[in-house]
Structure 1
Amino acid sequence: MATDNTGIPEAYYEAPYSLTNMSDEIRNGLLAIGTLATMSLVLTSGLLAFITWRMITWRSHYTRAVARNQAVVLIYQLILADFFQSLGFLLSFYWTSLRLIAGPEGACFAQGILIQFGDVASAFFVLAIAAHTTYQVVLSRNVPYKMFVLYILVIWAFALLLTCLVPIVGGRYVILRAGIWIEVLGCYQNP
Structure 2
Amino acid sequence: MILNVDSQTLAPLPDVLSHGLVAVSTFGLLSFCCSTSLFFFLTWRLISWRYKEGPGNPPNQFLLLIYNLLLADMQQAVAFLLNITALRNNGIYVGTSTCFAQGWFVSTGDLASSVFICAIACHTWMGVVKEYRLPTPAFYCCIGVLWTFVYIMAAIGPTIHGRDFYVRASAWCWINDAFQIERLWLHYFWIFCSMFSTVLIYLYIFAFLRKKSFSQDEIAKSPRLHGATPLMVLYPLIYALCTAPLAAGRIYALAGHEVSLAYFCAAGTMIACNGWLDVILYASTRADIVFSEFPPGPNTGIDTFTFIGKASLGTTTTIIGGGSAPHNRSGSRAASRSASRGASRLAKQRGALGSNSGESVENLYGLGEIAVKDELTVTVGPQQQHNVTSYSQGVEESANRIRNFDQRSTRSARSAQSQNSRSRTSFDGAETR
Match of 2:152 among 156, 161, 178: 161
Shift of 1:119: 0.9
The residue that corresponds to 2:62 in the other structure is 71
TM-score for both structures, normalised by structure 2:
0.38
Is 1:109 the counterpart of 2:100 in the alignment? yes
Cα distance between partner residues in 2 of 1:66 and 1:179:
50
Match of 1:15 among 5, 29, 40: 5
The answer to whether the 8 A contact 1:27-1:96 is kept is: yes
Is 1:120 the counterpart of 2:111 in the alignment? yes
Structure 1 vs Structure 2 CA RMSD: 2.5
Shift of 1:61: 10
Cα distance between partner residues in 2 of 1:99 and 1:134:
47
- Residues matched between the structures, number: 177
The residue that corresponds to 1:8 in the other structure is none
Letter of the structure 1 residue corresponding to residue 6 of structure 2:
P
Match of 1:136 among 117, 127, 135: 127
Shift of 1:58: 3.0
Cα distance between partner residues in 2 of 1:66 and 1:166:
41
Letter of the structure 1 residue corresponding to residue 71 of structure 2:
L
Q: 1:188 to 1:129 in 2, by over 3 A?
A: closer
Counterparts of 1:78-93 in structure 2, within 5 Å, are 78-93=69-84
1:19 partner SS: coil
The residue that corresponds to 2:170 in the other structure is 179
Cα distance between partner residues in 2 of 1:83 and 1:58:
24
Shift of 1:150: 1.0
Cα distance between partner residues in 2 of 1:108 and 1:66:
44
Is 1:28 the counterpart of 2:19 in the alignment? yes
Deviates most, 17-26 or 114-123: 17-26
Q: Which runs of 4+ in 1 moved over 6 A?
A: 59-62
Is 1:97 the counterpart of 2:78 in the alignment? no
Q: 1:81 to 1:100 in 2, by over 3 A?
A: same
Counterparts of 1:35-50 in structure 2, within 5 Å, are 35-50=26-41
Query: Higher relative contact order by CA 8 Å / sep ≥ 6: 1 or 2?
Result: 1
Shift of 1:156: 0.8
Q: 1:61 to 1:188 in 2, by over 3 A?
A: closer
The answer to whether the 8 A contact 2:79-2:102 is kept is: yes
Deviates most, 18-27 or 107-116: 18-27
Letter of the structure 1 residue corresponding to residue 20 of structure 2:
G
Cα distance between partner residues in 2 of 1:71 and 1:113:
27
Report Cα offsets for 1:93-138 as digits up to 9, x if no partner. Answer: 1111111112122211110001111111111111211111222222
TM-score for both structures, normalised by structure 1:
0.83
Please list every run of 5 or more consecutive structure 2 residues that lacks an aligned counterpart in the other structure: 182-433
Deviates most, 77-86 or 67-76: 67-76
Cα distance between partner residues in 2 of 1:139 and 1:81:
27
The answer to whether the 8 A contact 1:66-1:72 is kept is: no
Deviates most, 169-178 or 52-61: 52-61
Rg larger for: 2
Identity of aligned residues (%): 33
The answer to whether the 8 A contact 1:166-1:174 is kept is: yes
Q: 1:185 to 1:14 in 2, by over 3 A?
A: closer
The answer to whether the 8 A contact 1:58-1:66 is kept is: no
